[in-house]
Structure 1
Amino acid sequence: MLRSLRYSGRTSLFLGTALGALALSAQARADDDIVSKMEQEMSRLQAAQAHVQEEQRTINHDMALLKAEIARHHASGASPTRTASPHAEQIATQENHSGHIITASVHHHGNKTTEPPETSGTEREMTASSGSEPVRGAHARRDRVSLSPSGRDLIDTGKGSELAVVGHRAEDVLVHFAENGVGPHPRETVGAQSAGAIGDHGVFHLGPVTLMLGGFVDTAAVLENRHIASDTFNYWQDMPYPNEPRYHTNNFDGGARYSRLSLLARGNIDAESTISGFFESDFGAGAVTTDPYESNSYSFRLRQAYLAYDDNTEGWHFLGGQAWSLLTPGRAGIVARQESLPETIEASMLAGQTWSRQWQVRIVKDFFHHRLWTGLSIENPATLYDTTGFSNMNGAVAMPNGSTVTIGENGVGLTNDTTNFSNEIAPDVIGKVAYDPVWGHYEMEGILHFPHDRVTMGHTGHNNTAVGGGAGGSMILPLIPGKLELRMAGLAGWGINRYGSVLLPDATLKANGSPDPLFGVQAQAGIIAHPNPRIDVYGYFGTQRVGHSYFNQNGGSYGYGNPAYSNAGCLQELSTLSCTANTRGVSEVTIGGWWRFFKGKFGTVEAGTQLAYSRRQIWSGIGGDPHTSMSQIFFDFRYLPFQ
């Protein structure tokens, strides 16, 4: 009986265990089925959500097109069906709540408006990640819209399109260009930074106005075999001869004074016209109290400050304020912040480079789908006089015939009281024509300048006005679009030498006291390569030369480049003989490169180095015309938080 009960107990325990295991196995299978079904349902919901988001983007896209069309026709005061021009096309861009861009085109054929063929979500929407690597080598086309920070990564919007968005946000600046293989500046390059490129990270809204930040923190240094106290800004005319001890000493200098801040404010008047203001500043000025011994406190200075109005429909562009001169070579059309500037580290850029930043009022018109551009600018005049041989007291020059010539006055009030501001009767008048065919960018320009002074003899006097001017041009040839380009530029004329980096004199004085414009020529050529998206390599040659004009009277020698001047003491250290050394020309050859070794959402960090060799020649005098030279190596690090 007892054995029977024990057997029965063991049997019950076994059966209970087996049934429990079966129950657990069934529960596990049920749980697996539930999880599988939940995963399938989640996948279905995600697919449905993606479909809804795609539909929402399509609706947003259609609404953007409709709003742009309504705004354009409200602005023109006509109905859409009566004002649509044949074969015209518009590009509409809109940023949705997630920060993505929606881009599309509307075709007009006669009085009928049609939508473009259906495109995929990828074609309608591109989001440029700040940490992604841009594709080097693509170039801008009129039938594409660029959504990347560098102006690459293109998306088709139909043939005939005329606008390109440089940047991956709709708030960024619209740049007009033709399909020339050159296109707008890749924003991350040093040439673009020099021209005033804005960032794509620091973008803010204040009501209807969009604010965009730009600039960088810069720390640069130079090691040179001559001592010239101008740090990384080359002042070539101060290049010493062996008669000065500083010719025989090396020099190292570094600083952060060329760190830069910029701000662009832009508002859309309607779908096709904008008003904008640009401000750019650095610490490149030296105050009277600036010294290298304690705080190195360089002064905040104005680089650019201008307002601009652009009418995208009619092709009119207006600019007023302080900006790069219209004589500065450009890169695409005649567009602000698209100037063609060297990628060099030296703050003076390159001997032979044509440029100035000054007040101006500029009007530009483009034709033929942004292929041909014409511009006219009146700009702040300044005549750089040389008065070698004369007695010059704050712009009052004593002539050998007893008269006094007033060519200017030292600054007063809020201007620099150690700088002479020349007399000027009229602004410089500058005109330019730019052409963008299917390959390359080409420019021709001309300038008129009017040096002005007053001659006083006894208690009476009279004014004199000379006419100077010149012409030049530039070109950019995309040997391998996006990879390798050749740049060339030049300018020649009378009284226009201050537009070159070397700052050779514009004029001297004739025997009767009237201004005598000096002939000059400046030219530069460079090869710029982009082996990959993070590296830029360059090589440049530049030169600037000036003529001479002089007279001898009453036993004295006057003017610029007079052969009666003495250069006999130029080659002997601390010589008691003279070394007048009127500069005849300066040439520079340089090579260098930049490496963007960090790039992401935090911005861009880049390093650069440059080797430069410069040679200075002088006008022959007593003792001949010896030359001098200088070798330099530059180093630079930059952090661009908004790029």
Structure 2
Amino acid sequence: MSLPDFFCLHSRTNRQRALLLLGTTCGLTLLSTPAFASEDDVITRMEKEMSRLQEAQAHVQQEQKEINHDMAIIRAELIRHRRAATPSQALNTSASKTVKSAPISRITQKTAHAFPVPSGSDETKTVSLQSNHTPTVLEPFVVGTPHSATARRDEVSLSPTGKSLVDIGPSSQLAVVGRRSEDISSRFAENGVGPHSRETVGAQAAGALGDHGVFHFGPVSIILGGFVDTSAVLENRHVASGTFNYWQDMPYPNEPRYHTNNFDGSARYSRLSLMARGNIDPERVISGFFESDFGAGAVTTDPYESNSYSFRLRQAYLSYDDNRNGLHFLGGQAWSLLTPGRIGIVPRQESLPETIEASMLAGQTWARQWQVRAVKDFLHRRLWAGLSIENPATLYDTTGFTNNNGSVALPNGGTATIGENGVGLTNDTTNFSNEISPDVIGKLAYDPRWGHYEVEGILHFPHDRVTIGHTGHNNTAIAGGGGGSMILPLIPSKLEIRLGGLAGWGVNRYGSALLPDATLNAQGAPAPLFGVQAQAGVIAHPNQRIDVYGYFGTQRVGKSSFSVNGTPYGYGNTGYSNAGCLQELSSLSCTANTRAVSEITVGAWWRFFKGRFGTVEGGTQLAYSRREIWSGIGGDPHTSMSQIFFDFRYLPFQ
């Protein structure tokens, strides 16, 4: 390291410290100055001096952060050479020696300088970085702003701006994963989309980890995440679901709650997450992730006394990553493989809306459920292929039938058993469908230099048993569909468009609106319903503290029905009456089988406090939803709902 380089590096910090000293001296002088001016003048001067001191302190902290960051790169280079060196080539780590590292293939001018190692270290005093070798990238234990990569796949940016790039070889990618607060595999997307910024609400919904709450116990790291949340909604219809929209319950004018406004607020979506992760070796990592909140509604929950919402399991899974061979496995409860992503097929990088409402968005494809997933990446993590078997469920609609605890009376005198209310440790007020096989889901994800693209498919097998007299038989239908998603970074890190959708038979439960998957035919066999769901969004990040978004989503379902002796059965039967839907407390029926749900929403988040104490943010959102029904006697009137959401959130680990 040359003396000019050394003094160039430190002169900035020394100047800032001198400014701090000068400002402090000026401040003390003001305090000791005789009262030659008014008290207001003295206070004004003191406030100005305090402002200058704070600005100077911020500059010093930023410079120190950059120095620590650059020192970490040098330590990583030393570690790599020590491991690779033979006994005759071993580095002399005496504090009185100077070590020259092997060259580096490409590094920006800023990080190409040599940096000193703090006194007391057993490492070299100076290191010279040149060309032609690839260093292992090691970040400080506490990582601040999420990073982005913008060049080649074997390059990673270690600066918040993405300007300081260093090459890393495939053998060194996981050498430091155990000491990071995020997975290094999510840092290789040079698609202009990049990984979730952990500050965005979409990342928080996906299960973002913190960067402050990182603890190391030998080879195992414990990483904390989560937030304290208080949200509320004001709506022009009374739908008793809080900030979780249940669109199928959107009332018609025949119900008095259609004509009343409703306000509901809760802290029940406050969240806690934890990850334990350890390196088996520099290429293999095993981790376990757990996330929970209070979004459940046990039968003892009420809003009148203690608001004791149940502790809810959101995610709990283990994962194994072999970066050398490009193999990735996951087992447990996690976001379904059908959920759109941002980078390859990587956990906690799901592309979820930035909305406040807990149900996210009508038309959004998602589920959180048990699964066993295997993924292989190709072409230096540009192409990913995944296969998952996931816990099945079928949402049946039995309009027109008599349904008693999952036993459905058929017009031919038989009984179709489609499920049973929970027993033992399951919810005894919920009907669990009879399933014969897990859902089988496959996905391909591609990350070129611009954008992220996915295609996917699913097979689902609705199953029941029909009993006539004292004999019966089983019925299994084959359902499924396909879809995809994409993210288009119009202005990388500033403005992006998200598109996604899914279409098929018997897969409607994977949409936020929870439209039915199937009904029954005249013989009692499952009759899968066709459905389509789609969403589009524009998300902007004008600066590091503000996010603005707008989305449109829709979900639609087909119909399947029949009539016996003039009695209508099935879903969407034109013989059902909708004649009473528009008259309050009408004596006429309003069957109202939902045909479509659509939502348009806009909102924004503002991070108004951010520092070592974490992040405090607030958001607001406007939403308009519309529900349409299948035509029957009396036509097919629609209903709608307008809402405004508010949210304040404290993220201590961000």
Q: TM-score range by the shorter chain?
A: 0.7 to 0.9
Does residue 174 in structure 1 map to residue 184 in structure 2?
yes
Deviation at 1:187, TM superposition (A): 1.1
Q: Deviations over 1:370-426 (max 9, x none)?
A: 000000000000000000000000000000100000000000000000000001000
Partner of 1:491: 502
Deviation at 1:142, TM superposition (A): 2.5
Partner of 1:631: 642
Partner of 1:586: 597
Q: Using a 3 Å threshold, how does the CA distance of structure 1 residues 472 and 116 change in structure 2: closer, same or farther? A: farther
Deviation at 1:291, TM superposition (A): 1.1
Q: 1:604 aligns with which of 598, 612, 615?
A: 615
Q: Which amino acid aligns with 2:456?
A: E
Contact 1:127-1:168 at 8 Å conserved across structures: no
Superposed, 1:306-385 pairs within 5 Å as: 306-385=317-396
Partner of 2:131: 117
Q: Using a 3 Å threshold, how does the CA distance of structure 1 residues 263 and 169 change in structure 2: closer, same or farther? A: same
Q: Deviations over 1:427-470 (max 9, x none)?
A: 00000000011100000000000000000000000000000000
Q: Distance in 2 between matches of 1:272 and 1:294?
A: 53
Q: Distance in 1 between matches of 2:228 and 2:209?
A: 14
Q: Which amino acid aligns with 1:157?
A: V
Deviation at 1:554, TM superposition (A): 2.7
Q: Which amino acid aligns with 2:164?
A: I
Please tell me whether Structure 1 or Structure 2 has the larger radius of gyration of its CA atoms. 1
Partner of 1:195: 206
Q: Distance in 2 between matches of 1:507 and 1:615?
A: 23
Q: Using a 3 Å threshold, how does the CA distance of structure 1 residues 457 and 178 change in structure 2: closer, same or farther? A: same
Q: 2:412 aligns with which of 398, 401, 406?
A: 401
Deviation at 1:365, TM superposition (A): 0.2
Deviation at 1:175, TM superposition (A): 2.2
Partner of 2:400: 389
Q: Distance in 2 between matches of 1:441 and 1:539?
A: 19
Q: 1:158 aligns with which of 161, 167, 170?
A: 167
Contact 1:306-1:321 at 8 Å conserved across structures: yes
C-alpha RMSD over aligned residues = 3.2
Q: Using a 3 Å threshold, how does the CA distance of structure 1 residues 196 and 636 change in structure 2: closer, same or farther? A: same
Q: Which amino acid aligns with 2:229?
A: D
Superposed, 1:434-449 pairs within 5 Å as: 434-449=445-460
Q: 2:511 aligns with which of 500, 504, 510?
A: 500
Contact 2:579-2:633 at 8 Å conserved across structures: yes
Q: Distance in 2 between matches of 1:179 and 1:346?
A: 31
Q: Deviations over 1:22-49 (max 9, x none)?
A: xxxxxxxxxxxxxxxxxxxxxxxxxxxx
Task: Give the secondary structure class of the aligned counterpart of 1:192.
Answer: helix
Q: Distance in 2 between matches of 1:335 and 1:269?
A: 19
Please report the TM-score for the alignment, with normalisation by the length of structure 2: 0.79
Does residue 530 in structure 1 map to residue 530 in structure 2?
no
Q: Using a 3 Å threshold, how does the CA distance of structure 1 residues 57 and 410 change in structure 2: closer, same or farther? A: closer
Q: Deviations over 1:312-337 (max 9, x none)?
A: 11100000000000000000000000
Q: Distance in 1 between matches of 2:627 and 2:397?
A: 18
Partner of 2:437: 426
Superposed, 1:37-186 pairs within 5 Å as: 60-66=75-81, 117=131, 139=150, 142-147=153-158, 153-158=162-167, 163=173, 170=180, 172-176=182-186, 177-186=188-197
Task: Give the secondary structure class of the aligned counterpart of 2:215.
Answer: strand
Q: Distance in 2 between matches of 1:298 and 1:445?
A: 36
Q: Which amino acid aligns with 1:170?
A: R
Report which stretch shifted further, 320-329 or 157-166: 157-166
Task: Give the secondary structure class of the aligned counterpart of 2:257.
Answer: helix
Q: Distance in 2 between matches of 1:534 and 1:168?
A: 29
Q: Distance in 2 between matches of 1:70 and 1:307?
A: 35
Q: Distance in 2 between matches of 1:54 and 1:481?
A: 24
Q: Distance in 2 between matches of 1:553 and 1:382?
A: 29
Q: Using a 3 Å threshold, how does the CA distance of structure 1 residues 54 and 223 change in structure 2: closer, same or farther? A: closer
Task: Give the secondary structure class of the aligned counterpart of 2:204.
Answer: helix
Contact 2:178-2:219 at 8 Å conserved across structures: no
Contact 2:138-2:176 at 8 Å conserved across structures: no
Deviation at 1:292, TM superposition (A): 1.1
Deviation at 1:64, TM superposition (A): 1.9
Q: Using a 3 Å threshold, how does the CA distance of structure 1 residues 244 and 315 change in structure 2: closer, same or farther? A: same
Q: Which amino acid aligns with 1:617?
A: E
Q: Which amino acid aligns with 2:185?
A: V
Q: Using a 3 Å threshold, how does the CA distance of structure 1 residues 317 and 569 change in structure 2: closer, same or farther? A: same
Q: Which amino acid aligns with 1:144?
A: E
Q: Distance in 2 between matches of 1:68 and 1:348?
A: 50
Deviation at 1:88, TM superposition (A): 12
Q: Distance in 2 between matches of 1:407 and 1:453?
A: 5
Q: Using a 3 Å threshold, how does the CA distance of structure 1 residues 59 and 449 change in structure 2: closer, same or farther? A: closer
Aligned residue pair count = 553
Q: Which amino acid aligns with 2:166?
A: T
Partner of 2:93: none
Q: Using a 3 Å threshold, how does the CA distance of structure 1 residues 127 and 461 change in structure 2: closer, same or farther? A: closer
Q: Distance in 2 between matches of 1:362 and 1:116?
A: 42
Contact 2:495-2:539 at 8 Å conserved across structures: yes
Deviation at 1:295, TM superposition (A): 1.2
Partner of 1:456: 467
Superposed, 1:16-31 pairs within 5 Å as: none
Task: Give the secondary structure class of the aligned counterpart of 2:258.
Answer: helix
Contact 2:72-2:139 at 8 Å conserved across structures: no
Q: Distance in 2 between matches of 1:440 and 1:285?
A: 36
Contact 1:139-1:482 at 8 Å conserved across structures: no
Deviation at 1:205, TM superposition (A): 1.9
Deviation at 1:67, TM superposition (A): 6.1
Q: Using a 3 Å threshold, how does the CA distance of structure 1 residues 97 and 343 change in structure 2: closer, same or farther? A: farther
Q: 1:410 aligns with which of 421, 442, 450?
A: 421
Q: 1:551 aligns with which of 562, 568, 575?
A: 562
Q: Using a 3 Å threshold, how does the CA distance of structure 1 residues 207 and 619 change in structure 2: closer, same or farther? A: same
Deviation at 1:279, TM superposition (A): 0.2
Q: Deviations over 1:102-155 (max 9, x none)?
A: 9xxxxxxxxxxxx96299x9x98876987x8789x975753433446xx65453
Q: Which amino acid aligns with 2:256?
A: P
Q: Distance in 2 between matches of 1:174 and 1:68?
A: 21
Q: Deviations over 1:614-633 (max 9, x none)?
A: 00000000000000000000
Q: Using a 3 Å threshold, how does the CA distance of structure 1 residues 510 and 165 change in structure 2: closer, same or farther? A: farther
Task: Give the secondary structure class of the aligned counterpart of 2:79.
Answer: helix
Contact 1:282-1:303 at 8 Å conserved across structures: yes
Q: Using a 3 Å threshold, how does the CA distance of structure 1 residues 531 and 422 change in structure 2: closer, same or farther? A: same
Q: 1:614 aligns with which of 620, 625, 628?
A: 625
Q: Distance in 2 between matches of 1:291 and 1:58?
A: 54
Contact 2:206-2:349 at 8 Å conserved across structures: yes
- The percent of aligned pairs where both chains have the same amino acid is 75
Q: Distance in 2 between matches of 1:226 and 1:542?
A: 20
Task: Give the secondary structure class of the aligned counterpart of 1:470.
Answer: strand
